[in-house]
Structure 1
Amino acid sequence: MADGRHGVAVGHRDQDGNMDMAAALLVVLVFTLLGIESGSGAGSNISTYIFDDGSKTLLTCTLNSSDTAILGHRWMKGDQLLREDSQPGLSTEYEIDPGERSGQYSCTFLSEPTGRMARVSVKVRPNVQAVTESVMGIEGERAVLVCESRSFPPVTQWEWYKITDTGDLPLNNKSHKKFVVFSETRTELHIHKLNLKKDPGQYACYGTNSEGKVGAFITLRLRSRFIAFWPFLGILTEVVVLVTIIVAFEKCRKPHEVVREEDTDSAPPKGSGHLMNDKDKRDAN
């Protein structure tokens, strides 16, 4: 019995020892990981700031410290180089072009042996615009309405509506005679077999991203399918009128010519009348 109790006690001590060793290893691993994370960010933290007052947008990057000399700064938008200088300093600024405000920018502090970079994302609501605000279509044919947005972040959802007196009518690929094509930057509404009574009017396209929802409006106007023949009909009408005038003029002129010919045939020759007078005079003598 004593041996059994002793064996149980030894077993408990071995189990407790293993648990203590595992706990110690876990603590060492945690401190090791913390040390690696702290060391990787030491001396290379960059703070970014976006200042926007409506008329201009200013981006600022500030490096908290550097063990090496700063040899310059570089600003980029995506893969496009915006500016690069050779000035020292732990802070750099860049003013954004108002026409191209949104996008992903990056600032780099140039130093040896490697530079230090930070990204700055300027996010705005979609800048949705109609490619053509007014579209002219022909009855029975097809019309294409187009909207675009080049803002960042890109549009994640496009919507089309027909504006009516009873409310906005949603349009999609399940709508009759209508087909929607879209991407991150562009959407198209195709309307087939245009109806002169049902299809004209105002349409709206809406783009949505994480910052909000914005729309644009397009007016669709239609012409009759016979509109293409109107110039030909006008020319044909002018020809018919001209021919009618010529025929009427010819008819009015022919009776006068007939009368003149009859008068010429009935009158005696001028020479013969003179000879007759001379003969009569000789006979009289």
Structure 2
Amino acid sequence: MGRTAFCVPLAILFLASVIPSKAQSDAPAPVTAPAPAAAPASASAPSEDLPELLYDVRGNFSLHCQLPNDNSLAYVWKKNETDIEQVWELKDRYQLERGGAEFRVARAYEDDFGNYSCALAGAAREQRWAVRGRPHLKLPANTNVVEGQKLKLVCKVVGKPYSRVTWGYTNSSEPDANYTDATEVLGSRASLADSEQGVPNGVLLLEEAQRSDAGRYRCGAAGALAPAVTTLRVKDMYAALWPFLGICAEVFVLCAIILVYEKRRTKPELDDSDTDNHDQKKS
């Protein structure tokens, strides 16, 4: 009996130690994300930049495929990985010449920009180009603002994809004058923003224009043939008041002249009427 009483607690202690360990071993192991596979050596190397071709909007551009074609295979042209025949905006506007080796577009649109490629049917090798519209920049020739008011200059760009615009300033009238970064000259009163057209930094904003802000401003972009320039004139805040005061002075002087003239004209008439009355009384 004593041995039995002694063995029961030992059995309970043994079961208590075995059951949790067994439950822990039977539980499913936690799911861990597999380690990412090592990237191939070629993927880590920087990809080669595509040769860039700039075209003028409403102008022509052409691409010449220089892949060797000894077997007279058909040329396959693509734009942004889409067969050129399926690009609807190019429909009826492109031609394939020299047996398909030359791709020509007449009167190019802004949306004709993209990555073009040519290959031979059944061959993996291809030739690629990055076709971009040359930026043409526009600003009004002259800009006027009243002192103390806000100024907003918008640089319009023709040619996609839109390049980031830079702004320069000079107070010189010389055509070859050096321009300084406009935001540095204007300080914290100036800021840049994207235009509604979507041109990065296409808008120059100026808080409370000052007389010293007058000068020439230009916007430029990479690849543009020439920057666009506008001449800013800052008018005195009382500029509109001076013409009004001048008109008031002219009216005042004119009224004074009329009053003096009328006074001098009526005096002789009164003198004549007094003389006539005196003669009538004598008779």
For residues 215-234 of structure 1, the aligned pairs below 5 Å read 215-234=227-246
TM-score normalized by the length of structure 2: 0.54
Cross-structure match for 2:139: 131
Q: Does residue 1:170 correspond to 2:170, yes or no?
A: no
Residues 77-133 of structure 1, C-alpha deviations (whole Å, 9 max, x = no match): xx6243179x9x962743332675961276999xxxxxxxx9863235x52413313
Cross-structure match for 2:215: 201
Contact 1:75 1:83 in 2 (8 A): no
Query: 1:259 and 1:148, CA in 2 relative to 1: closer, same or farther beyond 3 A?
Result: closer
TM-score normalized by the length of structure 1: 0.54
For residues 133-148 of structure 1, the aligned pairs below 5 Å read 133-148=141-156
RMSD of aligned Cα (Å): 4.6
CA distance in 1, matches of 2:54, 2:64: 8
**3-state SS, counterpart of residue 141 of structure 1:** coil
Q: Does residue 1:244 correspond to 2:256, yes or no?
A: yes
Structure 1 unmatched ranges of 5 or more: 1-49, 67-72, 110-117, 274-285
Moved over 4 A (4+): 60-64, 98-102, 105-109, 164-167, 211-214
Cross-structure match for 1:104: 114
Contact 1:127 1:151 in 2 (8 A): yes
Cross-structure match for 1:158: 165
Contact 1:136 1:220 in 2 (8 A): yes
Structure 2 unmatched ranges of 5 or more: 1-52, 75-83, 120-126
Contact 1:74 1:108 in 2 (8 A): no
Query: 1:168 and 1:106, CA in 2 relative to 1: closer, same or farther beyond 3 A?
Result: closer
What amino acid sits opposite 1:150 in the alignment? V
Contact 2:61 2:108 in 1 (8 A): yes
CA distance in 2, matches of 1:51, 1:148: 18
Q: Which moved more, 1:226-235 or 1:132-141?
A: 226-235
Number of corresponding residues: 204
Contact 2:116 2:131 in 1 (8 A): no
**3-state SS, counterpart of residue 80 of structure 1:** helix
CA distance in 2, matches of 1:201, 1:84: 44
**3-state SS, counterpart of residue 221 of structure 2:** strand
Residues 236-271 of structure 1, C-alpha deviations (whole Å, 9 max, x = no match): 2332122112210122023213312321222136xx
CA distance in 2, matches of 1:123, 1:51: 5
Contact 1:179 1:189 in 2 (8 A): yes
Shift of residue 190, structure 1, vs aligned partner: 1.2
**3-state SS, counterpart of residue 240 of structure 2:** helix
Please tell me whether Structure 1 or Structure 2 has the larger radius of gyration of its CA atoms: 1
CA distance in 2, matches of 1:154, 1:51: 13
Query: 1:51 and 1:259, CA in 2 relative to 1: closer, same or farther beyond 3 A?
Result: closer
For residues 32-71 of structure 1, the aligned pairs below 5 Å read 56-59=60-63, 65=73
What amino acid sits opposite 2:215 in the alignment? G
Cross-structure match for 1:189: 204
Query: 1:202 and 1:102, CA in 2 relative to 1: closer, same or farther beyond 3 A?
Result: farther
Query: 1:75 and 1:226, CA in 2 relative to 1: closer, same or farther beyond 3 A?
Result: farther
